[in-house]
């Protein structure tokens, strides 16, 4: 099994590489990598022990000269579409970082090519694969907080994650590379988790703005999602604060409150002032995502998140942009770009 890593930036160096190292050579025998930045290439090359002859500055050269069994695409958002297409047309199964594309038309095109060629395509929704999320879903199914009706997720910060050393530190606020801001980047996780907890989204109402003058995309996003089952998600994401703010992730039910703690704990209160703490490993979920994608490449099993899952998450986000522009709620069933 030979894997290709295309894009070796911060998320790969800090999270992907440790997960692949934990899975070991039994999962992937050899690696080949591509990134236009020498610092990023070198960091991943050294961490995974990749021979120099399998290191490239351009993914097209990699696909021309190598025969990987799969590729993981981790480049800036706007470039996902053409890199994934290049891989699919070379017959290489793809696992792509979120978002799979920045427009619905691009995402649909990727799915059409994947299905036409019979080549697997999946997207990384790693929060879905965290032990904490799996535990929360189990507790919800058991009725730990009664009937859940509201998911509140807030990730409000003073800035964005900088690009890797040697690359543009602010690519996330450049529209030409990012395609969207804090909603498409940070808020994205809350959107697909809300669908895991409450099911399909029926409508979205959004207020979106850029507070900081140098930001070309949104740095503040407030969303209300109405789900088909009647539940509501309140989602807030921002890179615009002048000071720190505490992150919030809670689900409210008619029989209690569920809180997601940073250490992986799921805490439950039923109004007595006492919190029952249910422990899960503080794992980011990448190992599980990678393991299940490899099973898919081997011809059995399904990925944690399919390309269609990525499309549905992107549909909510694109509808949110439309809602903010129109100043009204947008029904998903009626939404077209």
Residue where the block lists tokens 């990925």: 303
Mean pLDDT lowest for which of 52-56, 157-161, 221-225, 266-270?
Answer: 157-161
Q: Looking at domain 2-124, what is its CATH homologous superfamily?
A: NAD(P)-binding Rossmann-like Domain (3.40.50.720)
Residue where the block lists tokens 């399904």: 302
Confidence (pLDDT) at 106: 98
Residue 228 scores a pLDDT above 90: yes
- Residue of 136 and 169 predicted with greater confidence: 136
Fold of 148-253+315-334: Dihydrodipicolinate Reductase; domain 2 (3.30.360)
Residue 334 scores a pLDDT above 90: yes
Q: What CA–CA distance (Å, rounded) separates 77 from 62?
A: 20
Q: What percent of the chain has pLDDT over 70?
A: 100
Cα 46 to Cα 10, 33, 40, 41, 60: the distances in Å are 15, 11, 10, 9, 22
| Cα-to-chain-centroid distance, residue 230 | 25
Per residue in 185-215, pLDDT (tens digit) is 999 999 999 999 999 999 999 999 999 999 9
With vertex at residue 206, the alpha carbon angle to CA 232 and CA 139, rounded to the nearest 5 degrees, is: 25
Report the SS3 class of residue 241: coil
Q: What is the mean pLDDT of residues 271-298?
A: 94
Confidence (pLDDT) at 166: 85
Q: What CA–CA distance (Å, rounded) separates 188 from 93?
A: 23
* DSSP code at position 263: T
**Interacting residues of 178 by C-beta distance below 8 A, sequence separation 6+:** 76, 77, 78, 171, 172, 184, 185, 217
Confidence (pLDDT) at 87: 98
Length of the chain: 337
Residue where the block lists tokens 């959107």: 191
Pair 332, 202: CB distance under 8 Å: yes
Confidence (pLDDT) at 308: 98
Question: 224 forms bridges with which residues in the sheet?
Answer: 205, 234
**Interacting residues of 223 by C-beta distance below 8 A, sequence separation 6+:** 183, 187, 204, 205, 206, 233, 234, 235, 236, 320
Confidence (pLDDT) at 246: 87
Q: What is the CA radius of gyration of the chain?
A: 20
Tell me whether the omega of the peptide bond preceding residue 99 falls within 30 degrees of 0, making it cis: yes
**Interacting residues of 289 by C-beta distance below 8 A, sequence separation 6+:** 95, 124, 125, 126, 129, 303, 304, 305
- Residue of 225 and 245 predicted with greater confidence: 225
Bridging pattern class, strands 2-6 and 55-56: unpaired
Mean pLDDT lowest for which of 94-98, 245-249, 313-317?
Answer: 245-249
DSSP assignments along 131-154, one per residue: HHHHHHHHHHHTTTTSSEEEEEEE
Q: What CA–CA distance (Å, rounded) separates 105 from 109?
A: 6
Query: Taking the domains of the chain in order of start, what are their residue ranges?
Result: 2-124, 148-253+315-334
Residue 163 scores a pLDDT above 90: no
Q: What is the mean pLDDT of residues 15-25?
A: 96
Q: Report the chain's mean pLDDT, rounded to a whole number.
A: 96
Confidence (pLDDT) at 272: 78
Confidence (pLDDT) at 75: 96
| Cα-to-chain-centroid distance, residue 171 | 17
pTM of this structure: 0.96
| Cα-to-chain-centroid distance, residue 260 | 18
Q: What CA–CA distance (Å, rounded) separates 200 from 129?
A: 19
């Amino acid at each position: 099994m030979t894997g290709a890593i295309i894009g070796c930036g911060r998320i790969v160096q800090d999270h992907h590489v440790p997960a692949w190292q934990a899975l070991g050579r039994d999962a992937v025998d050899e690696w080949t990598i591509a990134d236009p930045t020498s610092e990023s290439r070198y960091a991943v090359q050294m961490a995974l022990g990749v021979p120099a002859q399998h290191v490239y500055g351009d993914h097209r050269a990699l696909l021309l000269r190598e025969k990987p069994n799969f590729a993981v695409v981790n480049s800036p958002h706007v470039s996902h579409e053409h890199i994934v297409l290049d891989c699919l047309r070379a017959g290489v199964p793809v696992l792509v970082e979120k978002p799979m594309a920045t427009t619905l038309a691009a995402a649909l095109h990727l799915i059409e090519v994947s299905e036409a060629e019979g080549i697997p395509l999946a997207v990384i929704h790693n929060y879905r694969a965290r032990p904490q999320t799996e535990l929360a879903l189990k507790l919800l199914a058991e009725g730990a907080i009664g009937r859940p009706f509201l998911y509140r997720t807030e990730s409000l910060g003073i800035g964005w994650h900088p690009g890797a050393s040697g690359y543009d530190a602010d690519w996330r606020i450049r529209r030409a590379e990012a395609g969207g801001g804090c909603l498409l980047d940070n808020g994205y996780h809350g959107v697909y988790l809300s669908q895991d907890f409450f099911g399909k989204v029926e409508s979205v109402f959004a207020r979106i703005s850029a507070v900081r003058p140098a930001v070309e995309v949104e740095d503040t996003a407030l969303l209300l999602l109405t789900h088909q089952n009647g539940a509501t998600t309140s989602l807030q994401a921002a890179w615009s604060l002048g000071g720190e703010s505490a992150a919030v992730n809670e689900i409210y039910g008619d029989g209690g409150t569920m809180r997601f703690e940073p250490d992986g704990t799921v805490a439950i209160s039923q109004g007595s002032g006492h919190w029952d703490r249910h422990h899960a490993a503080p794992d980011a979920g990448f190992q599980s995502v990678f393991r299940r994608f490899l099973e898919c490449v081997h011809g059995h099993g399904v990925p944690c998140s399919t390309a269609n899952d990525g499309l549905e998450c992107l549909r909510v986000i694109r509808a949110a942009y439309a809602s903010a522009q129109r100043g009204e709620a947008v029904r998903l069933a009626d939404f077209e770009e």
